[in-house]
Amino acid sequence: MKKLEDMSLSDRAYEALREDIIAGRFQPGKKITIASLSKEFGVSPTPVREAIRLLLAQGALDLKPNHSVTVVALTADEYREIARIRIELEGMAAAEAAILRTEAQAKRLRKINDDLEAARAKGRYADVLRRNRAFHFALPEMARLSTLTDVLEMLWLRSGPLLNVLYDYDYDYRSPLGDHPHEALVDAIERQDSEVARAAIQRDIQLGTEVITAHLDRLEAPARSAS
């Protein structure tokens, strides 16, 4: 990825907004305005307008009939479909990462997770979301699967905003023994145990999906009953 200072203003606005969406900074359905983003990014409206156009084409944003732009809000079934794909692809990335990782990469993954847990303990969920994104995308990087990174970014562009649901509920899924799937994954990466690494990331995605889709099912229940 290019450094932001080496990019055009349009590219900088696109990368910044895309990263915010992937990391879950914005809630599903959040209204996005050119004026607010222009002020935040320190650029004129034109680069922001181009960034929004690209993200609309990629399905990360929705254009409403009144011409307002919002962060995409998936249905429960749409989220389940993306999660099924993520489970397979991120499982593959974790398994390959365990085999190919360097010592430095394994240490970095543990540091990311330690920082994530520290942020969670302090209730700094914006930091948790950013570190969660870094944690998951470290896997295809370690696995040397650059094309897979591109594919996962497209999936996270649509599903990332719903990760906010986990922190709305202050949810922390751990086994009866107290371990979180991230911790099991880090241990497996350090031991270079590819199958345990695969199972750990798949468990992480599945448990999060159960919480998110249960939330979406509750929201959609009145509409289903009316029909």
Examine the domain organization and report whether 36 and 148 are in the same domain.
no
Q: Where are the alpha helices (DSSP H) in the chain?
A: 9-22, 34-41, 45-57, 76-100, 103-121, 125-143, 146-159, 164-168, 181-191, 194-226
CA torsion through residues 155, 165, 135, 199, sign = negative
Do 14 and 89 share a structural domain?
A: no
The last residue of a domain, from among 39, 71, 103: 71
Same domain, residue pair 135 and 170: yes
**89-138 tens-digit pLDDT:** 999 999 999 999 999 999 999 999 999 999 988 989 889 999 999 999 99
Q: Quickly state the pLDDT bin for 227 (edges 50, 70, 90).
A: low
CATH of the domain at 44: 1.10.10.10
Q: Position of tokens 């009939």?
A: 65
Asked if residue 193 and residue 134 are part of one domain, the reply reads yes
Whether residues 90 and 64 share a domain: the answer is no
Domain shared by 95 and 65, yes or no: no
CA atoms within 13 A on the CB side of 209: 20
Q: Say what the pLDDT of residue 168 is.
A: 65
Q: What is the pTM of this model?
A: 0.87
Range of the domain at 92: 76-226
Rounded to whole angstroms, the Cα distance separating 110 from 210 reads 25
CATH number at 101 reads: 1.20.120.530
151 and 213, same domain (yes or no): yes
pLDDT surpassing 90 at residue 167? no
What total number of domains does the chain contain? 2
Query: What is each CA distance from 207 to 60, 137, 139, 172, in whole angstroms?
Result: 23, 18, 19, 10
CB within 8 A of 170, min separation 6: which ones?
123
Collapsing DSSP to helix, strand or coil, 188 comes out as helix
- Give pLDDT tens digits for 182-224: 999 999 999 999 999 999 999 999 999 999 999 999 999 887 7
Same domain, 85 and 186: yes
Within 10 Å of residue 146's Cβ, how many Cβ atoms? Answer: 9
CA distances in angstroms from 63 to 34, 39, 69, 199, listed in the order given: 13, 21, 5, 38
Q: For residues 93 and 57, state if they share a domain.
A: no
Q: Following CA atoms 8, 37, 24, 71 in sequence, which dihedral angle do they give, to the nearest 10 degrees?
A: -110
Where does a domain end: 16, 45, 71? 71
Q: Say if residues 142 and 99 touch (Cβ distance below 8 Å).
A: no
Q: Tell me: the pLDDT tens digits for 6-53?
A: 468 888 899 999 999 998 889 999 999 999 999 998 899 999 999 999
- Residue ending a domain, among 71, 100, 120, is 71
Please tell me whether residues 109 and 216 are part of one structural domain: yes
Question: Looking at the predicted structure, is the pLDDT value of residue 177 above 50?
Answer: no
Task: Please tell me whether residues 84 and 50 are part of one structural domain.
Answer: no
| Shared domain check, 99 and 10 | no
